[in-house]
Amino acid sequence: MTIPEPTGVHPAWLPPEAFRAIGSRRTLVLGAGLLVGTVRDEVARACAAYGGALRHPGVTGDLDTRETARGDRADGAFDLVFALSTAQSPPDAVQAVRERSRRRYGDAGPGIGDEGFLIARHDGVTVVLADEPAGLLYGLFHVVRLGKPAFGAARPLERHRPAMRLRMLDHWDNVDVHPVMGQVERGYAGGSIFWRDGALSGDLTRVGAYGRLLAACGVNAITVNNVNVHATEAHLLTDRLGDVAAIADRLRPYGVRVHLSAGFASPIALGGLPTADPLDEDVREWWARTTERVYQAIPDLGGYVVKADSEGQPGPFAYGRSHADGANVLADALAPFGGVVHWRAFVYNHRQDWRDRSVDRARAAYDHFTPLDGLFRGNVILQVKHGPIDFQVREPSSPLIAAMPATRVAVELQVTQEYTGQQRHVCYLAPMWSEVLAFRPWGPAGPDVARIVAGAAADRDDIGTEHDGWTADETGCLVGVSNVGDDPYWTGHPLAQANLYAFGRLAWAPWTDPGAILDEWIDLTFAPAETGDAERLRRTLHAVMDGSWRTYERYTAPLGVGFMVRPGHHYGPDVDGYEYTPWGTYHFADRDGVGVDRTRATGTGFTGQYPPPWSEVYESLEQCPDELLLFFHHVPYGHVLHSGSTVIQHIYDTHFAGVEQVAETRALWAKLAGAGPVPPDVHARVSELLDEQLRCAEEWRDQINAYFFRKSGVPDAHGRRIP
Ligand code: GCW
């Protein structure tokens, strides 16, 4: 296999220098299979660049033809061995590591799973052992991340297994350029890497390179088309299936499986049937036959993703059927092939009457889906947005996640920055996702969201140890909406690459500290040598990125109230933009106060969807955390927060502070110019974007502050200028 090398594209976290440590060493690869071949090719390329040597004996014992020219040097002693656990007569170091594993995990084996690996350094040899080829691939990228220290002193045995079975990115990419949403819905990084102007992209090199980046951060599944399935895109299921197969071929060597967004009305749109009623025999038959053909073309397709009865997409409600009926007909069609249906829980009334205070969009997913718990087939995964509304900068955890004990639940995050600065603002999202994943719906004694989603069994012995994951039950799934496009930096804003990287790493190991993930990303991306410059770069990037999500929160919608964005494109402020619309996203500001009363006592009753203690904490004005106050309560401007400030003064203070922080960020970044490991083009692109971020943050500050000053008449305690 040739390793994909698109030209004119930033290498993201896999620049050649990231392979320096491996490339200068003698490596032995033991095993066969597509992904073992990928490991071999990666090592061979690194050796070609850095003078190391590779040996990969073929399954028959013959030397593999891909062996490096200097393979003879690799005879005998090795610095690094990648071996499948079934490897025959491996070197002593492998035997020693196996023995260590036996002592630690017992005769039943280490339970590596089909993507996990063991790593240890013994007698000057770094050994990566896996049961399956995918484990060796993830082990390879682990060694890449470690760099030189992988070859230092002896390393204790570590076991790495992903917490989530499916670590998936959904692309909201359209085949046809949509008249309103463009080539990529909510895409801020150019066009699609898959599709262009109604057809498959002419050059799929980029797709292969994407697969490589994904494998290096742990992602193993993607969807190739938007959940809003328009007319052309519907045909990916039938006559345009070849396009999907071509994409799958490019991603397969990196262990990334393709999924397809399918339209619920496909039996009508594509099959010519008069109905898409999930209980209709012809409809069931159509899905079964169509799916059989899909699997003939792509035997390892992951399955379907469906957005039904949501924002105008067709669904089972039209036939008086439930979402379990709807999901199950697809699940039955997929089951013979091992496929899954990702059924989205983002179902709400987007045509509500803003005057009707009894309707609360936050309630919708729970109200629709909890009565169906236990009715979904085992291969249905209910895909729930992490918050009850829609990827706002601050939302509570969706109560649905904890309310479906008999259903497989996936949590959906938004890597694309629709509501967090649209890849024009620096907003490192890993700290937010960590909070999302660490939320404990039943209080401190219960499991957190990551564990609920991972389906983790009772075995918690490993939790908290540095390297070992949970014993997950192999059904877990974390989904992110991808932020990637055909932009030279992949993500528009070069620093937004860190969000993509962090998503994969958190899906693999949700307990990882976001700061540590950022360090990995910095070291790989900028491959800084161990110089003073590198230290400066790390310090600056941490100062720029660690707190950037909270900074964004400070200058946008306050205290969890959400939205206040310009309708349509969702960039920049428009406080009342959604206030009198049918979309269900209101803040209810008047001259006396602001916020949404979602209490049981006097509001929409949404707080009752949480189990205790949160049903009580959120209900109580005294206990509700400040950052979510306006999500749960309507309060007067003079209400005093736990912080000691009033709501109105908090609004003023945070908006002034947020803008100051952006200005500081810009000044810090400016100091990196002209020297060190940041290439000039990256520096220039980020500088331009920081100018825009500052402009936009000032606009937010002024509109929000002016709005609330005019509504409340309360002046700023510090007498700052409010326009
Ligand atoms: O946040 C909203 C977006 C829509 C998107 C929808 C969804 C794909 O504004 O563009 O549609 O969420 O998640 O389905």
Ligand 1 centroid from CA 44, angstroms: 43
Task: Report helix, strand or coil for 424.
Answer: coil
Q: Does a cis peptide bond (omega within 30 degrees of 0) precede residue 611?
A: no
Query: Alpha helices of 340-427 — where are they, by DSSP H?
Result: 364-369
- Check: CB of residue 638 under 8 Å from CB of residue 648: yes
Residues 78-119 have pLDDT tens digits of 999 999 998 888 999 999 999 999 998 887 777 788 999 999
Residues in a beta bridge with 101: none
% pLDDT > 70, the chain:
94
Task: Identify the residue whose C-alpha is closest to ligand 1 atom 11.
Answer: 228
Pairing of strands 117-122, 155-160: antiparallel
- Phi, psi values for residue 34, rounded to 5°: -55, -50
Pairing of strands 303-306, 340-344: parallel
Of ligand 1's atoms, which has the minimum distance to the CA of residue 172?
Answer: 8
- Phi, psi values for residue 402, rounded to 5°: -95, 0
Residues 526-552 have pLDDT tens digits of 986 666 688 889 999 999 999 999 999
Rounded Cα–Cα distance for residues 211 and 115 (Å): 16
Q: Is the pLDDT of residue 682 over 90?
A: yes
Query: In which residue are the tokens 């670590």 written?
Result: 167
Instruction: Find out whether the beta carbon of 391 lies less than 6 Å from any atom of ligand 1.
Output: yes
Rounded Cα–Cα distance for residues 52 and 199 (Å): 42
Of ligand 1's atoms, which has the minimum distance to the CA of residue 419?
Answer: 1
pLDDT at 469: 46
Q: Is the pLDDT of residue 437 over 80?
A: yes
User: Which of 180, 233, 311 has most ligand 1 atoms within 8 Å of CB, for mutation?
Assistant: 311
Is 418 labeled as catalytic in the residue annotation? yes
Query: Alpha helices of 455-513 — where are they, by DSSP H?
Result: 497-508
- Check: CB of residue 218 under 8 Å from CB of residue 505: yes
Q: Hey, what amino acid is at 652?
A: Y
pLDDT at 63: 43
Rounded Cα–Cα distance for residues 131 and 84 (Å): 6
Is 390 labeled as catalytic in the residue annotation? yes
Strands (E), 325-443: 340-344, 380-385, 408-414
Tokens at residue 287, please? 């899905």
Selecting among 390, 486, 523, 553, the annotated active-site residue is 390
pLDDT at 431: 98
Residues 409-429 have pLDDT tens digits of 999 999 999 999 999 999 999
Residues 20-69 have pLDDT tens digits of 999 999 999 999 999 999 999 999 999 999 999 999 997 544 444 445 55
Best CA proximity match to 563, nearest among 690, 395, 698, 692 = 395
Instruction: Find out whether the beta carbon of 228 lies less than 6 Å from any atom of ligand 1.
Output: yes
Residues 357-382 have pLDDT tens digits of 999 999 999 999 999 999 999 999 99
